[in-house]
A = this chain, B = another copy of it.
């Protein structure tokens, strides 16, 4: 972790007040974290967001970064450089010990495993800052960082062996049916402990006193995920509190201070995404207008423009047209249960579409948590074929409430769909970004616009497929007579790719379709969840 290395260096910056630090040759990779610590022993320490800032300068670029108080007289400035070359910085503070500290470092080219921050690409897709395609295939473990340490370590091990590259996770602990674990550390210090009318203990938090231990732990876990190549889709608020801690109903001023503090600590973590809420509409203390305010607070505080969205309950769509929102984060199974649904949502929003919750593979009584592995995998493919992205989740409980259920707690995967994540990503990494070839008419054929198609048959069980493609090819050049194609049969459940030993030659377009001139057919395995990959032979 470069963070700790830097800290060793920078912890004595404070002794070189107003001068260029000696270690100006320090090297930081693009999109890694540069950090330094300043000490203030004057006793006037505060978590207030305007205690410290630093301006980083690189040629014509100048970025001002909020610092934050980390407890124990320590203030920290963190910065994620995007451009290579020399960066110089200078602090500003009303506290003399923090003011006018200067230094510089060298930002060097990213290493092979560092692709940078994930950005929106081609309106509907994503890529890393170094232009590597990022196909999001995430899973969900809302409260994993609040579990016992061995469970957290197991979660990381599970993720390491999976194909997932994103995880939805909450900052605050979770109090919900099947998830009752008390966290070992809280985000705030306790002002007092009261008894409610029923005699239960109620903690009263001091919302002006953040607990740095809580945030350092969260940061460690985000760094752990980064080491695994996993994006942390970090949920800032959620409704699963129900009067236990009250983090869902803090005053607006506390919400805004929390956002500033969190963003100051985390914006330099390149694998962080901001998810303002899970099921925002179930958070009864906040209106749509409040969410608007909170979203704007996050994006205003974040100098790097991390991906940012908000998630509602089933079929509850926020106004995702809001410019601060980079992509949709939808809970709705309907668009992936029925043909064509995902593509409709994609036609509506000029943004990447992620269905972040469409139900879970599991064995719960609730219908949201009892899909078969096949169904979960199928729904991911239904999204994929519509040019969108679907997030995985599983909710198996074999023992009792102490059982880990991945959806909330992490731990071990117990289902079968998670094993397909890597396979899906491999298929899509070969085709690149997809969209419907003939939107609103052919609901099964996706094109990459460059001669490759994926056709997904879903639950249809077919014996053969006669070569045929839509003549329309999204907004790309249309196929025409005299082209050559090869076909591979993909079993999305068994994870096999079987090349077909035929070459197909196209005829003239016939009533919106392109057929093989000899009407050649492909034998299919008479199983559900079959897809085809069709590739032009140059």
A interface residue numbers (CB < 8 A to B): 314-317, 319, 321, 332-335, 337-341, 343-345, 347-348, 367, 439-441, 443, 511-512
- 4 smallest CB-CB distances across A and B, nearest first, come from A334-B440, A338-B340, A315-B347, A334-B340
What's the nearest-Cβ distance from chain B to residue A365, in Å?
9
Give me 13 other A-B pairs in contact (C-beta within 8 A), A317-B348, A334-B344, A334-B443 excluded: A314-B439, A315-B344, A315-B347, A316-B347, A319-B321, A333-B441, A334-B340, A334-B343, A334-B441, A335-B340, A340-B341, A367-B511, A367-B512
CB contacts (< 8 Å) of A314 on chain B: these are: 439-440
Q: How far is the CA of A332 from the CA of B339 in the complex (A)?
A: 14
Chain A binding surface SS class: loop
How many monomers of this chain does the complex have? 2
Contact B338 A443 (CB under 8 A): yes
CB contacts (< 8 Å) of A332 on chain B: these are: 344, 347, 440
What's the nearest-Cβ distance from chain B to residue A446, in Å?
14
CB contacts (< 8 Å) of A347 on chain B: these are: 315-317, 332
Q: How far is the CA of A78 from the CA of B319 in the complex (A)?
A: 38
The residue that A440 contacts in the complex, of B315, B339, B348, with Cβ under 8 A, is B315
Jot down 13 A-B pairs with beta carbons below 8 A, ordered by A: A315-B343, A315-B347, A315-B439, A319-B321, A334-B439, A334-B440, A334-B441, A335-B340, A338-B339, A338-B443, A344-B344, A367-B441, A367-B511
Residue of chain B at shortest CB distance from A338: B340
CB contacts (< 8 Å) of A512 on chain B: these are: 367
Residue of chain B at shortest CB distance from A348: B317
Q: How far is the CA of A348 from the CA of B334 in the complex (A)?
A: 12
CB contacts (< 8 Å) of A338 on chain B: these are: 338-341, 443
What's the nearest-Cβ distance from chain B to residue A316, in Å?
7
CB contacts (< 8 Å) of A344 on chain B: these are: 315, 332, 334-335, 341, 344-345
Q: How far is the CA of A340 from the CA of B340 in the complex (A)?
A: 9
What's the nearest-Cβ distance from chain B to residue A378, in Å?
15
What's the nearest-Cβ distance from chain B to residue A78, in Å?
36
CB contacts (< 8 Å) of A511 on chain B: these are: 367
What's the nearest-Cβ distance from chain B to residue A330, in Å?
9
Residue of chain B at shortest CB distance from A321: B321
Q: How far is the CA of A332 from the CA of B319 in the complex (A)?
A: 21
What's the nearest-Cβ distance from chain B to residue A21, in Å?
49
Q: How far is the CA of A253 from the CA of B110 in the complex (A)?
A: 52
Contact A337 B340 (CB under 8 A): yes
